[in-house]
Structure 1
Amino acid sequence: MDLQSLTLLVEILDAGNLSAAARRLKMSRANVSYHLNQLERSVGAQLVRRTTRRAEPTEIGLRLYQHGLAIQGELLAARESVTTLGQSLQGRVRLSVPSGYGQLVMSGWLIDFKRMYPGIVLDVLFENRIEDLLRDEVDIAIRVIPEPPQNLVARELGPVRYVACASRGFAEANGLPTQLDQLQGAPVVTSAVVGRQLRVSAYQGEERREVILEPTLISENFLFLRQAILAGLGIGLVPDYVVLDDVRRGEVLTTLDDWRLSIFGTGMYMLYMPNRQHTRAIRTFIDFILERVRGNAAAEPPAP
């Protein structure tokens, strides 16, 4: 057994199947299968249970996987110590952020981080899909979800508050809904999952209600939704940070403020793979974002 064999085992189990591991290792699937068989033969035990969709570790396979992770972490730390000696912090962070939160809240933070650590390469994806982080080999994902996946490490960044809102001009011409059911007949501007019925959950104390809506304008681009709301195209259902400055200036009015509204979830989370030895660049980025979130929460006025 050698380091290369342990690395192969780690990659297979991280990727979830032999085909995905082969793509990451830039090898053929047959070659990955051959080397895994050779490793299992040298150990004298099955290390990975293969199915048509997943590769899962046996008990001894899991132990070797954990040893492999630890060794990789030590090698990575040693390599970083040598390459960064006398230099500024270097490395790469591949980050996936929601389009709205990323552009309206995080973009300033990311620019500040890059100024502080010019040697770190930031690779930022603006997207709203919730899929396996391994798909795009993303180091960290920021997502609005009801509950974090159990197979990932989740750091809570705070609650997400949706607001029902409209431009002052729209409100003066059409009025604003004062009851949840009135949203059903209103021209709604919001984001939604393609192919799914839009269901808005509303909470007030112990009461929970659900309203089914048919929006007249749908987009995943929250900057566009903000423009549509300001243009008076309808009642916006968006996270509060999308129109926060417009509300403060009085250009946008909110309604149904006694209800806590939710479409995709009520929590913002930072997600990353467990049991993965992070580089100094990734650890530094995680700490930086958590500190910014704490500072942002302290600066916000309390919710009404």
Structure 2
Amino acid sequence: MDVNSLTLLVDILDAGNLSEAARRLKMSRANVSYHLNQLERSVGLQLVRRTTRRVEPTEIGLQLYEHGRTIRNALLAARESVTTLGQSLQGRVRLSAPSGYGQLVMSDWLIAFKRLYPGIVLDVMFENRVEDLMRDEIDIAVRVMSEPPQNLVARDMGPVRYVACASAEFARTHGLPATLDDLPAAPLITAAVIGKQLRLAAYLRDERHEVLLEPTIISENFLFLRQAVLAGLGVGLVPDYVVQDDLKRGAVLSALDAWRLSIFGTHMYMLYMPNRHHTRAAATFIDFVLEQARGSGRGGAN
């Protein structure tokens, strides 16, 4: 067994299947499979269980994976220290952020970061999917959820507060919902999960209520939802950052302010794989964004 064999095992398990590992390593699938078989023969034990879609580590495979990851991270850190000696901070950070929060809140942070570190390449995707966050070699994902996955490192970026709101014109003409029971009858503007009944969780001190909703306008694009609210098309159920400027200038009015409302989750989290080697660029980016979140009044505990 050698270092290359151990790091190959790490690459295979990180990729999830042999075909993806081959793509990332720029090798043929047959070559990857051959080297994996050679490693298993040298150990004398099965290290991974193969299915048609995925590979899963056996108990001994998982132990070797942890050793291999530690060795690979140390090698990467040493290589980076040598190659960047005396240079300005360089590297690449691939970020996946929610469309609304990413564009309305994080965009200014990303621009400020890029000005500070012009040598770092920022590869940013605005999307809302929550499954398989670490696909496509994403370094960092930012997501709204109530409880983060146990298999990922989660850094709290602060609470997400939903508001029930409408344009001032809509409020004058139709009124605002005074109780939770008024919401199902209102023309609602919000995001929803395709194929699932939309459920609004509402908290008042120790009380928790749940309301089933049927929106008239549904979109994952929160900029569009904001436009629909401003156009007077109904009552929006959106995170406060979507309409905070409109609320301040009186163009949008809020309702049910005594309630804490939630649809997709109560907190924003920064997520990344445990034990994955973070380049200096990625580590600097993580610290910068968490500091910005704390400075905005949203950031939570680490």
Scaled by the length of structure 2, the TM-score of the pair is 0.95
Q: Structure 1 residue 242 and structure 2 residue 242: aligned?
A: yes
Residue identity in the other structure for 1:117: Y
Write the letter of the residue equivalent to 1:204.
Answer: L
How many angstroms does 1:298 deviate by?
7.4
Say if 2:134 and 2:272, in contact at 8 Å, map to a contact too. Answer: no
Cα deviation per residue 1:193-226 (whole Å; 9 max; x = unaligned)? 1222211111112211111111111111111111
Identity over the aligned pairs, expressed in percent? Answer: 77
Aligned equivalent of 1:32: 32
1:155-192 CA-to-partner distances (Å, cap 9, x unmatched) read 11111000000011110111001011111111111111
> Does residue 253 of the first structure (1) align with residue 243 of the second (2)?
no
Structure 2 partner of 1:193:
193
SS at match of 2:135: coil
Residue 302 of structure 1 corresponds to: none
Matches within 5 A, 1:264-283: 264-283=264-283
Structure 2 counterparts to residues 69-148 of structure 1, below 5 A = 69-148=69-148
Q: CA deviation at 1:53?
A: 4.2
Q: Which moved more, 1:56-65 or 1:2-11?
A: 56-65
What's the counterpart of residue 226 of structure 1? 226
What are the Cα deviations for residues 276-295 of structure 1, in whole angstroms up to 9, with x where unaligned? 11111111111111111111
Deviations 1:228-253 (A, max 9, x none): 11111110000001011111111111
Structure 2 residue 9 is the aligned partner of structure 1 residue 5: no
Contact between 2:157 and 2:298, CA under 8 Å: does it hold in 1?
A: no
Residue 47 of structure 1: aligned partner: 47
2 CA distance for matches of 1:292 and 1:77?
26
C-alpha displacement of 1:120: 0.5
| Whole-angstrom distance in 2 between the partners of 1:60 and 1:215 | 51
Return the alpha-carbon distance in structure 1 between the equivalents of residues 283 and 184 of structure 2: 45
Query: CA–CA distance in 2 between the matches of 1:221 and 1:66?
Result: 39
AA in 2 matched with 1:94: R
Task: Give the residue type in structure 1 aligned to 2:104.
Answer: L
Q: How far did 1:77 drift?
A: 1.4
**DSSP-derived class of the 1:136 partner:** helix
Q: Is the 8 A contact 1:15 1:134 kept in 2?
A: no
Residues 189 and 216 in structure 2, CA contact (< 8 A), matched pair in contact too:
yes
CA contact (8 A) 2:159 2:298 kept: no
Q: CA deviation at 1:57?
A: 2.4
Counterpart amino acid of residue 247 in structure 1: L
Q: Describe the SS at the equivalent of 1:92.
A: strand
**Do residues 67 (structure 1) and 57 (structure 2) align?**
no
Runs of 4+ off more than 3 Å: 51-54
- Cα distance in 2, alignment partners of residues 54 and 261 from structure 1: 38
**Alignment-mate amino acid for residue 164 of structure 1:** A
Does the CA-based 8 Å contact 2:160-2:239 persist in structure 1? yes
Report the Cα distance in structure 1 between the residues aligned to 2:225 and 2:197, rounded to whole angstroms. Answer: 19
- Provide the C-alpha distance between the structure 2 equivalents of 1:92 and 1:266, rounded to a whole number of angstroms: 30
Separation in 2, partners of 1:231, 1:64: 58
Distance 1:43 1:252 in 2: 66
Residue number in structure 2 paired with 1:217: 217
1:134 shift after superposition: 3.4
**TM superposition shift of 1:269:** 0.4
3-state SS of 1:6 partner: helix
For the aligned residue pairs, the C-alpha RMSD in angstroms reads 1.5
Secondary structure at 2:297's aligned position in 1?
helix
Instruction: Tell me the amino acid that sits aligned with residue 185 of structure 1.
Output: A
SS at structure 2 position matched to 1:250: coil
Instruction: Compare 139-148 and 289-298 and name the one that shifted more.
Output: 289-298
Count of matched residue pairs: 299
* Residue deviations 1:105-125 (CA, integer Å, cap 9, x gap): 000000000000111000000
Any idea what SS the aligned residue of 2:295 has?
Answer: helix
Structure 1: gaps of 5 or more residues = 300-304
Match of residue 177 from structure 2: 177
Distance of 1:184 and 1:66 partners within structure 2: 51
Separation in structure 1 between the aligned mates of residue 215 and residue 133 of structure 2, nearest angstrom: 30
TM superposition shift of 1:50: 2.6
